[in-house]
Amino acid sequence: MKNNTNKNSIISKDGVSYLIPFILITSCFALWGFANDITNPMVKAFSKIFRMSVTDGALVQVAFYGGYFAMAFPAAIFIRRFSYKAGVLLGLGLYAIGAFLFYPAMLTGNYYPFLIAYFILTCGLSFLETSCNPYILSMGDEATSTRRLNLAQSFNPMGSLLGMYVAMNFIQNRLNPMDTVERSQLSDTEFAAVRDSDLMVLIAPYLIIGLVILAMLIVIRMVKMPKNGDQSHNINFLPTLKRIFGIHHYREGVIAQFFYVGAQIMCWTFIIQYGTRYFMSEGMEEKAAEVLSQQYNIVAMIIFCASRFICTFILRYLSPGLLLKVLAIVACVFTAGVIGFQNIWGMYCLVGVSACMSLMFPTIYGIALQGLGDDAKFGAAGLIMAILGGSILPPVQASIIDCGTLMGMPAVNLSFILPFICFVVIVIYGHRSYCREKMRK
pLDDT tens digits, one per residue of 128-170: 988 888 888 778 776 677 778 878 888 887 888 888 888 888 8
CA dihedral over 115, 163, 28, 130, signed as positive or negative: negative
How high is the pLDDT of residue 207?
Answer: 95
CA dihedral 56, 268, 202, 24 (to 10 degrees): -130
Q: How many angstroms separate the CA atoms of 43 and 45, rounded?
A: 6
Residue 95: pLDDT over 50? yes
Residue 230: pLDDT over 80? no
- Written in H, E and C, the secondary structure of 274-340 is HHHHHHHHCCCCHHHHHHHHHHHHHHHHHHHHHHHHHHHHHCCCCCHHHHHHHHHHHHHHHHHHHHH
* Cα–Cα nearest to 385, from 133, 169, 27: 133
19 vs 377, which has greater pLDDT? 19
CB contact at 8 A, 335 and 420? yes
CB contact at 8 A, 68 and 198? no
The predicted-structure confidence for 53-75, as pLDDT tens digits, reads as follows: 877 887 887 888 788 888 888 88
Residue 4: pLDDT over 60? no
Pairing of strands 16-17, 12-13: antiparallel
How high is the pLDDT of residue 229?
Answer: 55
The predicted-structure confidence for 343-362, as pLDDT tens digits, reads as follows: 899 999 999 999 999 889 88
**Distance (Å) of CA 267 to CA 271, 287, 303:** 6, 20, 14
How high is the pLDDT of residue 2?
Answer: 41
CB contact at 8 A, 270 and 412? yes
pTM score: 0.76
Domains and CATH numbers, the chain: 14-225 (1.20.1250.20), 235-440 (1.20.1250.20)
How high is the pLDDT of residue 6?
Answer: 44
Residue 5: pLDDT over 60? no
Q: How many angstroms separate the CA atoms of 17 and 36, rounded?
A: 31
A 10 A CB-CB count for 177 gives 13
How high is the pLDDT of residue 9?
Answer: 62
A 10 A CB-CB count for 245 gives 14
The predicted-structure confidence for 238-289, as pLDDT tens digits, reads as follows: 777 778 877 888 999 999 999 999 999 899 888 888 998 889 888 888 878 8
Of all residues in the chain, the percent with pLDDT exceeding 70 is: 92
* Cα–Cα nearest to 360, from 294, 426, 410, 293: 426
Weakest-pLDDT range from 4-8, 19-23, 260-264, 430-434:
4-8
